[in-house]
Chains A and B, each alone.
Chain A
Amino acid sequence: MRARWKTRDVMLTVVLGVTFGFLYWALVQAWTALSVLAGPFGDLTQHVLLGGWLLVAPVAVAITRRPGSGVVAEVMASIVEVVFLGSPVGPMLLIAALLQGVGSELPFALTRYRRFGWGIYAVSGALGALLVFGFSAARAGWFGSDLLALRLGLQIASGVLLGGLLARVLVSALRRTGVLESFAIAREPAPART
């Protein structure tokens, strides 16, 4: 936190962003298939997968423990999607990603990047989902729609599960592989294997 970013931190954040950008793209394929299958409710099924988009920020923060790494990784992922793979949401995805990153990183920042329990991850996912929900609701005119509460509920639940708790599972799995030995995360004792 107090130390400068090391080049490895920069590289890791960017690599995470790019890899997740690619994986998000795979997710988008599943997403489009799902939304066509579900017909009129296609738009809704997409909310179920929304949390997946929030995943990279908590992962980057938990590994590097540098302020801003979550936001950078999330924005990188969205750049990959928009510029190289082409997402139907277009450049506004960058703004959405910025909001997601800020929302997901806020709980970690408030605890000064010291606490990485299940609770913090869950709050991170929920907050990211909430921020981006406000943004897309304003853009797509959902406020007048009948489904506002349902949309909000689905997105928050998805954010907590896919964007929060899954991130912790992923981080501990990554840690067990040993590739994170040179990062800030390795300074705390490894959790007991479950």
Chain B
Amino acid sequence: MVETAYTVTSDSETTGEDKSSTFPEIAIGIDIGTSQCSVAVWNGSQVELLKNTRNQKIMKSYVSFKDNIPSSGVSSQLSHEDEMLSGAAIFNMKRLIGRVDTDPVVHACKNLPFLVQTLDIGVRPVIAPLVNNMWRSTTPEEVLAIFLVELRSMAEAQLKRRVTNVVLTVPVSFSRFQLTRIERACAMAGLHVLRLMPEPTAVALLYGQHQQQASHENMGSGIEKIALIFNMGAGYCDVAVTATAGGVSQIKALAGSTVGGEDLLQNMMRHLLPDSENLCKNHGVKEIKQMGLLRVATQDAIHRLSSESSTQVDVDLGDDLKICKVVDREEFEEVNRKVFEKCESLIIRCLQDAKLEVEDVNDVIIVGGCSYIPKVENLVTNIFKGKELYKGMNPLEAAVCGAAVEGAVASGINDPFGNLDLLTIQATPHAIGIRADRNNFVHVIPRDTTMPARKELVLTTVHDNQTEALILVYEGDGEKAEENQLLGYFKIMGIPAVPKGVPEINVCMDIDAANVLRVLAIVLMPGSREPAIPAMEVRMPTVDDGYGWCAESLNRTYGASLDLLTLQKV
């Protein structure tokens, strides 16, 4: 069934333009979470969440390969928990997609009840479910594509039309390379990505719509309102500060990290069974089952701790391995202290980046699955000195509703009541720059720059008669080049042979509103305004799955021989 449904149309995003109908297709909004997922669409007057055949609005994000027939949490009748025990289910795709095997997040995924194999050299990890006692390799993109195909057919059945255009939400901390992997998965599923929105900015858009509607009702003038959005799901934690007035949401600052409910869960599992790490090392069928049982029991316990102050964990893992323990909330909070500290630091950094004090924030919004955890609510309200949290957003549905609103806005839908008279002015979540001045990461476009953006940097050669220069483009917040994500590389060749410091190499970066990054390089000789050699334009990212390996290899092969130095602007 799935074999036919999942057609690989194209790798580029040029699909979906061959519509004969003049009526615009309203793009649907999809929120693929690490553990849960939902789909919503603008139905002409408001956002409506789509339900699967089992009448669920929120579905588990997993794909099971049992009996060779992939089926996902969208349609599957079996419960997630049972699938997990057999080793045939792949989940947490969002934590694995676009990462190399040296990434600590990938290493953390080795505790999951399916195969994650790493060689630790900076290439793609091997991921495989256990099918009929055989590890059959797959990729996160493929798993995501299968999942998206099912979501798509579910939406098509309900909307009674073809669905091609989508708006997806993504974590703030995703690199541009990871975004291309999401696009690839969508292309495999025959979906055309209109926009990939950082999750909290989708919530910001929804907040902007709320403000717009409120100001229509009481005829208030468009007073600027500042909101901080804290979104913590199973895989990622994101923060955004937005300034909203007159339907325009300006993203002031973004911060994100790979901490989430998954970390809380793993820390708790380690707390309950200190040896749990080694349990999964051999990936035997029995161990997978044990791991699955422990996972389910721990997850249930954490859920119960949101409403109760202490709870009993009682699970029989077989082999005389029984866990019977009472855990209380303090214990849970202590075990996860580092995770919660990270959340706090993200909020504080985001406020600092936006150059705001806690008193300046009008509304504090917390969303995501982890917002039900009392400690998460406490830490946010503590930072904001006991300020009451914004009400009127469903924590689990806010992001997908925002994506659906963006889908309608981006499809050119007009609403007679002005409910779609909205705009989000996005900002760059990470700095983008190049390697220069030896091994430093020199920013060309800093973090939180308003998009679209275009910035340039002037550099020069470091050696006499240097005729070539290597441009290595990185993205991230680290100081040294290698601490950041490599996006791509190209060489400037044919620089006139002159003493060092003479040629002026101009590197320009351009990000358009659809978040496409282009890097341009041009060589100028003093006294001339015409480029000495043809300029180069490269669309980034150009790296592939083995980017970790690639960066190291580039370093080893070229070292400092093709280096550049930034020119101090006078």
**Are A and B part of the same complex?**
no
Residues of A participating in the B interface, judged by any CB pair closer than 8 Å: none
Residues of B participating in the A interface, judged by any CB pair closer than 8 Å: none
